[in-house]
Structure 1
Amino acid sequence: MRGVPSAVVLCRRAAACCAALLLVTSCGRAGADDDEGGRLPGAPTGVSAEAGSATSVHVMWNALPGGDGISRYEVYRGARKVLEVPASRHMVDVTRLRPSTAYAFSVRARGTDGRLGPPSRKVRARTPAAGPADRSAPTRPGSARGRTAGSRAVHLSWSASEDDRGVVSYDIYQGDTKVHSVGGNQTAAVVAGLRPGARYVFTVRARDAADNLSPAGSAVRLTTPGSDDGRATAPGDFRATTRRADGAYHIELSWVPPRTDGVVTEYQIHLDGKPATSLVYGGKVPSGRATYSFYAGPEKGVTHRVRVRAKLPDGTWGGFSAERTVTTGAR
């Protein structure tokens, strides 16, 4: 009869319908898996590359917003991963390169769940030619000065160094850590990612094509404006008790490490308002609750006030934990 589909046509339509339903169901399940796996890290921005010498390139980038979910950054030369650094670092020196060679670099972020985000845009740098043997370092950068640029950045400047072959780059140090680098034709830089109300010390060193490094210029000391109540950088859920062992009392501490864009490896314990001792992790750092025990003396009934703070990845001290009061021998 006309207008009535045959059995074969009906079967084909049913199969197509089932396939469509299967596809929709499959897509929905994949979406749920993505949600369960967490948000994929984004592509790093602000990526730049500058030749540091005839055999090295400085690669820099901006920290991703919401860096709590980032475990590290991976740096690629072309399609090959050449370095990875903790989430607290946003610059690397790629070394063992060839002189007079052009290179392309990109950066990817890896989440704390192990998933790798998309690559940044590629940036290019060319290493300068290697000259004759050069063992003469550039002169010290002079007239170093600086000013704050809001509560989270500073502007630094200095006078040019001299070198018999030419300065290739200037390295900026925050304390003992190199945090930034600019080309040898620049005598100013902006260092960002700082905290309000924090004290910083910066120095600048010049580098030539043979990787000879100058002495550090004079220190620039700056305090960013604003205030930081310390809550975001203070250890959490701080607890303190006492116990007796070997004829003396000990104070037992535990806390949750502060959430930062890097790993905290050092803490300072304050007892009765003064620094009493420090805890420095030389190996693996606890990923969960941290614990520490220290000697409090043989006397019973002595009351102490105790609190702890962390040295942050940027070299400054974070906020104090809540203060706890403990009495030796008390139950």
Structure 2
Amino acid sequence: MRPTPTLAALSTTAACLVALTATSCGSDSGAAAEPPETPTVPTGVTVYTSTSTSVHVMWNKAAAAENVRRYEVYSNGKRIQNVPAAKHMIDITGLEPSTRYAFAVRARDADGKLSGAGRAEPVTTPSADADDNKPPTQPATLKARADGPRSATLTWTKAEDNKGVTAYDIYQEGTKIHSAGGNETSASVTTLRPDTRYTFTVKARDAADNSGPESPSATVTTESEPEGKAGAEVATDLQGTAREQGGAWSLELVWNAPKAGGDITEYEVYVDGKFGSKLVLGESAPKDTGRISLPLEKTEKATYAVKVRAKLPDGKWGPFTKEIEVTAGG
């Protein structure tokens, strides 16, 4: 007579049937599969206050072999920002004055695996001074030096403030591209383009968010990129269709963002060689595509030549797309 299997034996058998792996169930003859590797914890995380309600977070970029798709910034254990893999710094705004925060950065790779958080870096925002209406002084000098095809080092003289400088904001032809701490007098500016002339200025800012006058400008030309390594700075796959509604016509345009080492948030659209419209993407808008609808004044049939360009992370306008033609009107 065959013995009746025990409940434990049945449970073990069921587990074996469910877990269909290369390793034999109930035997140690096969080695367990190793868990997939996660990205390395980002190193060099640094946090400093910009104003009583904002901070600047920086970290070291991961090695190319890490295949990092984006960085995730955490405040007091809660994820608050996603940053493209090409960037390694961000301004966090909307904080409370005189409040302690702790920031950490994690890396997520193209397979969706997330690194550990590492040590959370603490910072306390300064108090807000409602009576502080006096801005800092001007940084008296500014110098720029190219560090290769895609970066430059800026150095400036210290500004003065009645309450203390908390940040220096770096501008490239009027566009803010970077911030440095109030105790810093130099910064490395990355995500630049090869063989390109840049003009920078710097402004000091205090805890009450008062900005002083800009420094004298400094100009530098980045080095040429080695052959075969030029970046893609043009929007791609520009497509246009005509749409009619209630007797009114519009151009419906869509394109893919250039891969220029950071998020693109601003575009210009030209129609028949003239500026037609500007598209500014909000914080939560998709950054991999652009889409805009342009109303047309004409109702009769006409053909329009359309092209688009993007404002790149270095603050300069990139090249135009190839013009496309769209016919609209009846």
Separation (CA, whole Å) in 1 of partners of 2:220 and 2:242:
41
SS at match of 2:232: helix
Separation (CA, whole Å) in 1 of partners of 2:69 and 2:224:
27
Question: 1:50-61 maps to which residues of 2 (within 5 A)?
Answer: 50=48, 52=50, 58-61=56-59
8 Å contact kept, 1:41–1:70: no
2:81 is aligned, of 72, 79, 84, to: 84
What do residues 38-81 of structure 1 show as CA deviations (whole Å, max 9, x unaligned)? x854433443234557887543224446699635531445xx34
What do residues 196-229 of structure 1 show as CA deviations (whole Å, max 9, x unaligned)? 2455453323345776543332344545343799
8 Å contact kept, 2:97–2:127: no
* 1:84 partner amino acid: Q
Alignment partner, residue 275 of structure 2 = 275
SS at match of 1:298: coil
- Structure 1 residues 97 and 226, CA gap change in structure 2 (3 angstroms): same
SS at match of 2:25: helix
Question: 1:91-110 maps to which residues of 2 (within 5 A)?
Answer: 91-93=90-92, 96=96, 98=98, 105-110=103-108
1:194 is aligned, of 192, 195, 207, to: 192
What do residues 77-124 of structure 1 show as CA deviations (whole Å, max 9, x unaligned)? 5xx34743543561335854759x9x8653223467765322356657
8 Å contact kept, 1:70–1:261: no
Q: Which runs of no fewer than 5 residues in structure 2 stay unpaired?
A: 1-15, 17-22
* 2:180 partner amino acid: S
Alignment partner, residue 147 of structure 1 = 145
Separation (CA, whole Å) in 1 of partners of 2:327 and 2:231:
26
Separation (CA, whole Å) in 1 of partners of 2:162 and 2:134:
8
Alignment partner, residue 255 of structure 2 = 255
Alignment partner, residue 18 of structure 1 = 25
Separation (CA, whole Å) in 2 of partners of 1:259 and 1:135:
41
What do residues 22-50 of structure 1 show as CA deviations (whole Å, max 9, x unaligned)? 974xx44x75xx5xxxx854433443234
Post-superposition offset of 1:313 = 4.2
Identical-pair percentage: 37
* 2:145 partner amino acid: R
Alignment partner, residue 7 of structure 1 = none
Post-superposition offset of 1:182 = 3.4
Question: 1:178-189 maps to which residues of 2 (within 5 A)?
Answer: 179-184=178-183, 186-189=184-187
Check if 1:321 corresponds to 2:328.
no
1:204 is aligned, of 199, 202, 205, to: 202
8 Å contact kept, 1:262–1:313: yes
Paired residues, number: 303
* 2:298 partner amino acid: G
* 1:70 partner amino acid: R
- Structure 1 residues 176 and 322, CA gap change in structure 2 (3 angstroms): closer
SS at match of 1:142: coil
What do residues 217-255 of structure 1 show as CA deviations (whole Å, max 9, x unaligned)? 234454534379987232222223445555565444332
Provide the alpha-carbon RMSD of the alignment. Answer: 4.7
Post-superposition offset of 1:318 = 3.2
1:218 is aligned, of 216, 219, 236, to: 216
8 Å contact kept, 1:248–1:299: no
8 Å contact kept, 1:68–1:261: no
**Structure that is richer in helix per residue:** 1
8 Å contact kept, 1:230–1:318: no
Separation (CA, whole Å) in 2 of partners of 1:64 and 1:258:
22
Scaled by the length of structure 1, what TM-score is found? 0.67
8 Å contact kept, 1:180–1:191: no
Check if 1:238 corresponds to 2:238.
yes
Q: Which runs of no fewer than 5 residues in structure 1 stay unpaired?
A: 1-14
- Structure 1 residues 123 and 292, CA gap change in structure 2 (3 angstroms): closer
Alignment partner, residue 159 of structure 1 = 157
Scaled by the length of structure 2, what TM-score is found? 0.67
SS at match of 2:91: strand
- Structure 1 residues 248 and 141, CA gap change in structure 2 (3 angstroms): same
Alignment partner, residue 9 of structure 2 = none
- Structure 1 residues 46 and 327, CA gap change in structure 2 (3 angstroms): same
Task: Give the stretch that moved more between structures: 153-162 or 217-226.
Answer: 217-226
